[in-house]
Amino acid sequence: MRKHRDAAGLKIKNETVAFAPAMYKGQTDLRHLHKTVDAIQPTNVARGPAQNYRADIDGLRAIAVLLVLLFHGGNSVFSSGFIGVDVFFVISGFLITSIVLKDLSTGAFNIAQFYARRAWRLQPAMIAVYVATLGVAALVYLPVDFVDYLKSAKYATMFLSNQYFERTTTAYAADDTSSLLLLHTWSLAIEWQWYFLLPACLMLLYKKVSASTLKIIAPVATAIAAAVALTLSIHQPDNSYYYFASRVFELLIGACVVVLNGDRIKLGKHSASVIGLAALFVIFYCSTRTGILRGFPDYHALLVSVATAALLLKEVGANGIHSRVTASVLPRSLGKVSYSLYLWHWPVLAVTAYLGLTAAHYSEGVYYAGSIVLAVASYAWVEKRLRRVRLRFLPTLVLLIIFPAVAFSVAYKLADAHGGFAQRFGSEFAASQKTLAAHELKNRRYCIDGVTDESDPRCVIGDVPSPSRALMIGDSFSNQYMGFMDVLGKDASVSVTALSTSACLSLPDVYLYSWWKFKDVLYTKCHDRAVDFYNLIRSNRYKYVVLGQIWGNYTGDSVVHSLSDERTTELSRARLEASMRNALKLIIESGATPVIIKAVQAMPTAVNECLSQHLKMQDGFGSTEASANCATTGESPKDADWFETLFSALKHDFPSLIFIDPKDVQCEQGQCVTEMEGVPVYRDVGHITDFASYRFAELYLKTFGNPLK
């Protein structure tokens, strides 16, 4: 044991030197950085008692987690409360940089011990959430949703859930994410990715550069990271929310407060108060903005991060008038349980959403009360008891990281192989799932956005060897009719090649502008694939060419010939009609008979939730009562009258044109079925299941005969 002194000659506690400090370039220059952690060390960092605890940082945590809770709770005032996560990221960058640099400066840094401490700080409470959500999902989540949950848990335990949810959700906070039990773990994944990156970078820099050089590198790296984030915000606005590359600048801003010796900035009470109040104003102002989620993190995140960094300055926290509130008992106490509160609040909300209870008058109370109770219990019984465990790195790695990852990976594989264990909901439901699986067209996914010719045999249905051939093109709604056309093709001895493009009006000579996810640009992929389809029609002798679209979706102002075209609904409809006439003319001139498949009944809001509610609540499924309660009145889709008028005119001008309307068998006496034989008709956002596609075709043959004969 021996005493050390930092660059200012101040004594550092007696401790064993883990390695020779003299081996590092700039050692003397950097050693003073350890003092920052003494100024900010919170009680919930597992490093022993804090010498100079800063209550205002726990208060800042309280603000961050409250903003997140209010946003997820649907509070209209804090419509962008998700910025609370950005506050957490800056705090994390600040604290972890302080810890690592302090240990490096004293020669006590051990990377294995660092990861062991981090694991015992974060993983026990996280594992408790995994166990609890697994129990809930096993009890009430339907097979497909249960498999999805286990898959998300697999990625969460591997600290990759941000990448998983970026791939599997349409956007953060979108409707399709409300019941994903582990959606919120995306931020924990980024946190761990930061832990994997930071220590190694700091160790390398500590060895190779002086403190003055580090003070240049850190802000330059932060500026580059911010530029990357802003670029991603512009060019990938629907995906950037989950990217580590979009978030690293926030962590680096927190790190810069340490590297640039923010604790040494001297401020009087007036200056500290002005800075503190201005920073809080920026955070609360940004949290109330509307319409900033798409493309986030953007400049709002930069503002929030800089404001948070200002609040982390020691003098601002010590002398600012705002700290009388942020450092008071209630915010400080809430800040201490903020990690557990963040972990538990989302599963509470996801379960109530999944069970269809969000509209209940008591749901808001259940959300807030349940989140707080679970957080306090988790903090007292899990976090506080286990955060100071001093187990060596290898057993910690096995127990807290490898075992959960392996367990959930195996569970996912088993559940996926056994259909999500449908028998959990009884034999009747298990039978319906077996029926769905038996009719699933496993190759259908290869026939949307795939080839644009006949080279993929997986996209050929009907009577495959028949010399009589048909081509079906369109958007994803033509893709859903593959089962329907398979039945008709087999019965008529016709081989059908099915090719489709997502959200694409597959007609010649037109583009879609600012359509779907292609904002303010032409959807060129759709146009180019349509060109290929009609070249295919010209060069082949098809007996039939089938056009399948969700027709009503294309009656707005998005149909153009070029980027410079004027856009109005009237002009767009005129272009659509002209393009349809051109398409029919090309088809007939090629020697084929044109066929138009109309859309099924639009999927009623929450119809599948209505059907599945009986299961989740352990009631029957597919019963007469359930079917009647969830049936829907046949309503005309948007702009149906305009299209019906157009279809009538096209039939008059092109007498050989054939129409197939699945609603003729789906709806009867004003009621449209939403389940058949205990199996849902719809699989997602209006697309029908393969089972329904087959059954509708069989009913159509019996009722109207085969239009392909």
Q: Label residue 27 by pLDDT band (50, 70, 90).
A: very low
Backbone region of residue 706 per phi and psi (left: phi > 0; alpha: psi in -120 to 50; beta: other values): beta
Mind listing the pLDDT tens digit for each residue in 107-146?
999 999 999 999 999 999 999 999 999 999 999 999 999 9
What confidence category does residue 622 fall into, taking pLDDT thresholds of 50, 70 and 90?
A: very low
In angstroms, the CA 555 to CA 105 distance is: 67
Instruction: Concatenate the DSSP letters of all residues of 557-626 into one string.
Output: S-EESSTTS---HHHHHHHHHHHHHHHHHHHHHTTPEEEEEPPPPPPPTTHHHHHHHHHHTT--SS-HHH
Q: For position 345, what pLDDT does the model report?
A: 98
Taking residues 78-91, what's their average pLDDT? 97
More confident residue, 276 or 668: 276
Indicate the SS3 state at residue 118: helix
| Higher per-residue pLDDT: 207 or 358 | 207
More confident site: 641 or 185: 185
Percent of the chain with pLDDT over 90: 76
What are the structure tokens assigned to 294, written together?
Answer: 């798409």
- What is the pLDDT confidence band of residue 49, given thresholds at 50, 70 and 90? very low
Residue 77 has pLDDT above 60, yes or no: yes
- Whether residue 41 has pLDDT greater than 60: no
The vertex-264 CA angle with 255 and 247, nearest 5°, equals 15
Question: Between 364 and 346, where is the model more confident?
Answer: 346
Residue 518 CB burial class (10 angstroms; 0-12, 13-18, ≥19): middle
Contact 300, 338 (CB under 8 A): no
For 473-479, what is the mean pLDDT? Answer: 97
Q: Is residue 16 over pLDDT 90? A: no
Alpha-carbon torsion angle 652, 658, 660, 664, nearest 10: 50
What's the CA gap between 248 and 387, in Å, rounded? Answer: 26
Helix, strand, or coil (residue 313): coil
- Which residues lie closer than 8 Å to 231 by C-beta, 6 or more apart? none
Of 373, 685, 422, 648, the residue nearest 553 (C-alpha): 685
The Cα 412–Cα 422 span in angstroms is: 14
Q: How sure is the predictor about 632, in pLDDT bands with cuts at 50, 70 and 90?
A: low
Name every residue whose Cβ is closer than 8 Å to that of residue 134 and which is 6 or more positions away in sequence. 149, 153, 411
Q: What's the angle, vertex CA 162, arms to CA 158 and CA 168, rounded to 5?
A: 105
User: How far is it, in rounded angstroms, from Cα 706 to Cα 489?
Assistant: 9
Question: 519 by DSSP, 3-state: which?
Answer: strand
pLDDT band for position 633 (50/70/90)?
low
pTM of the model: 0.80
Phi and psi of 61, rounded to 5°? -60, -40
Name the 3-class secondary structure at 448: strand
Residues in the chain: 709
User: Is the bond preceding 297 in cis, omega lying within 30 degrees of 0?
Assistant: yes
Question: What is the DSSP track for 376-439?
Answer: HHHIIIIIHHHTT----HHHHIIIIIIHHHHHHHHHHHHHHHTTTTGGGG-HHHHHHHHHHHHH
pLDDT tens digits, one per residue of 255-268: 999 999 888 889 99
Is the pLDDT at 639 greater than 80? The verdict is no
Q: Amino acid identity, residue 211?
A: A
pLDDT 10s digits, 369-393: 999 999 999 999 999 999 889 899 9
Between residues 15 and 289, which one has the greater pLDDT?
289
Query: Residue 12 forms beta bridges with which residues?
Result: 4
Mean pLDDT of 178-192: 97
Encoded amino acid at 593, one letter: T
Query: What's the mean pLDDT when you consider all of the chain?
Result: 89
Angle CA(298)–CA(85)–CA(176) in degrees, nearest 5?
Answer: 80
The stretch 309-326 carries a mean pLDDT of: 94
Looking at per-residue confidence, does 99 or 625 come out higher? 99
Tokens 């790195």 correspond to 393
8 Å CB contact between 160 and 242: no
Whether residue 349 is predicted with pLDDT greater than 90 in this model: the reply is yes
Residue 441: CB partners within 8 Å, gap ≥ 6? 482, 483, 486, 690
Q: How far apart are CA 487 and CA 283, in angstroms?
A: 59
| pLDDT at position 12 | 34
Res 641: pLDDT: 84
Query: The dihedral of CA 578, 580, 586, 588: what is its sign?
Result: negative
Q: Quick one: pLDDT at residue 636?
A: 56
| Domains and their CATH numbers in the chain | 30-417 (no CATH), 442-603+636-671+687-704 (3.40.50.1110)
Q: What was the pLDDT predicted at 520? A: 85
User: Does pLDDT of 543 surpass 90?
Assistant: yes
Structure tokens at 359: 């509209």
Among the listed residues 114, 118, 103, the one whose alpha carbon sits nearest the alpha carbon of residue 258 = 103
In angstroms, the CA 460 to CA 443 distance is: 10
